[in-house]
Amino acid sequence: MTHADLRALSDKAWNEIVVDGRGNAYINGGPGIIALVTPDTAARRVADDITFLNGMAVTPDNGTLIIAESHGKRLTAFDIAADGTLSNRRVWADLGDGVPDGICIDADNAVWYANVPNKCCVRVREGGEVLQTINIDRGCFACMLGGTGNRTLFLVAAEWRGMEHIPEVARARTGQVLTIEAPAPGVGWP
């Protein structure tokens, strides 16, 4: 069953989705845009000019959307209005050589981000202070806090040899789900 048709907003592929506590869905895709689909199925573009957009998360108060700009090497935040509109775009954390992919938020207002080329998952505060780094032996594509009390950090990892080798890496079947106890429970959306 089709909930909303996004073809009028972009003819490129869509990548990630997060749904906030009001039932608004934010979907990102090429060429660097974020679309909003409201509970009544209306769809509109709410942000653009984003550098290789990946993970997205909404704070527990539904007030801020945080996104991972992989090629921009930063986490970017937007204020969310009651109608779902985004404003006040700002750098939430400059990550230096960090390349964020999937993200999640914890109860200490920190963000975990998966980092494919640097083979790790990193926990940062707003402003970019690194609180913890978990190094692994392959690229980390996604992270999420869940399990009992939302205190288990789940990591989705696989070998990474670069964009030009995606088909061969997919055939190699090197994917793993790893877990570690987190210092603070997960909050927010998703």
What average pLDDT does the structure give for the chain?
A: 94
- Residue 164, pLDDT > 80, answer no
Write down the pTM of the prediction: 0.94
The SS3 assignment for 120 reads strand
User: 110-136 pLDDT, tens per residue?
Assistant: 999 999 999 999 999 999 999 999 999
pLDDT category of residue 43 using cuts at 50, 70 and 90: very high
Element (H, E) at 180: strand 176-181
Which residues neighbour 102 within 8 Å (Cβ) at sequence distance 6 or greater? Answer: 54, 55, 68, 113, 114, 141, 142, 143, 144, 156
Check residue 162 and give its pLDDT: 74
CATH architecture of the domain with range 14-187? 6 Propeller (2.120)
Per the rule left: phi > 0, alpha: psi between -120 and 50, beta: everything else, 30 is beta
Q: Which residues of 32-48 are buried (b: 16+ CB within 10 A; e: fewer)?
A: bbbbbbeeeeebeebbe
Q: What phi and psi, each to the nearest 5 degrees, are found at residue 138?
A: -155, 175
